[in-house]
């Protein structure tokens, strides 16, 4: 039977002591949210599962360094994002295209279901998809993204702009095709 941890501090303390039940409880608590995050970045189910497992290994190895300056979930999220990005970089270099797209920033005002939007996001190139997910879905600032990806804030902003324009184009094509 799995032990129930009353609060996050107790769970962290037990994980720092390498308690397998605590590690399992932490994994169970965060696995779905972290998988979804990694999948949005990687766009590959099997790779995302691999990155999730490797990311949790990093979490358990480094939990002794967790100083509780943020929530446990936020700390784990940073580890997972960095792990996924490191793996992506080894598989292929990030696209640093700085295509400047002029726009009048029109919005698609039709209702779009989550599945259609998710498919459109997954079609984005890795670099712009990563920035889009981190900025628009996870709420990171361009400065934080730049630090995570080791790019300039300008690159982060341009990748986000590119992602939005691509999504806009894809989604408006889908809407007009109906």
Query: Tokens standing for 121?
Result: 């996001």
The distance from CA 169 to its chain's CA centroid, rounded to whole angstroms, is 23
Residues in the chain, overall count: 178
50-87 pLDDT per residue, tens: 899 999 999 999 999 898 888 899 899 988 988 887 77
CATH 1.10.10.10 in the chain: give the residue spans: 114-177
Q: The domain 8-91: what is its CATH number?
A: 1.10.1740.10
120-138 pLDDT per residue, tens: 888 889 889 889 888 888 8
Ordered alpha helix ranges (H), 17-71: 20-42, 45-62
Task: Select 114-177's CATH number: 3.30.1490.20, 1.20.1740.10, 1.10.10.10, 3.30.70.100.
Answer: 1.10.10.10
CATH 1.10.1740.10 in the chain: give the residue spans: 8-91
pLDDT band at 96 (very low <50, low <70, confident <90, very high): very low
pLDDT band at 2 (very low <50, low <70, confident <90, very high): low
Q: Note whether 16 and 41 are within 8 A (CB).
A: no
Please say if the pLDDT value at position 164 is more than 50: yes
pLDDT band at 34 (very low <50, low <70, confident <90, very high): very high
Please say if the pLDDT value at position 103 is more than 50: no
- The pLDDT of residue 175 is 53
For tokens 């300008």, what's the residue? 154
For tokens 């809407």, what's the residue? 175
**Mapping DSSP to helix (H, G, I), strand (E, B) and coil, where does residue 153 land?**
helix
């Amino acid at each position: 039977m799995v032990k129930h941890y009353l609060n996050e501090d107790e769970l962290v303390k037990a994980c720092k002591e390498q308690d397998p039940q605590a590690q399992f409880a932490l994994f169970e608590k965060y696995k779905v949210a972290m998988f979804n995050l990694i999948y949005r970045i990687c766009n590959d189910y099997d790779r995302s599962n691999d990155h999730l497992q490797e990311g949790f290994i990093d979490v358990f190895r480094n939990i002794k360094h967790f100083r509780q300056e943020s929530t446990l979930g936020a700390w784990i999220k940073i580890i997972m994002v960095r792990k996924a990005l490191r793996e992506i970089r080894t598989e292929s270099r990030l696209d640093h295209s700085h295509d400047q797209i002029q726009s009048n920033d029109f919005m698609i005002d039709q209702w779009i279901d989550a599945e259609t939007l998710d498919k459109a996001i997954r079609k984005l190139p890795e670099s712009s998809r990563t920035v889009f997910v981190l900025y628009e879905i996870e709420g990171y600032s361009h400065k934080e993204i730049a630090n995570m990806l080791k790019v300039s804030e300008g690159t982060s902003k341009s990748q986000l702009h590119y992602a939005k324009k691509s999504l806009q184009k894809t989604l408006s094509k889908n809407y007009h095709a109906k």
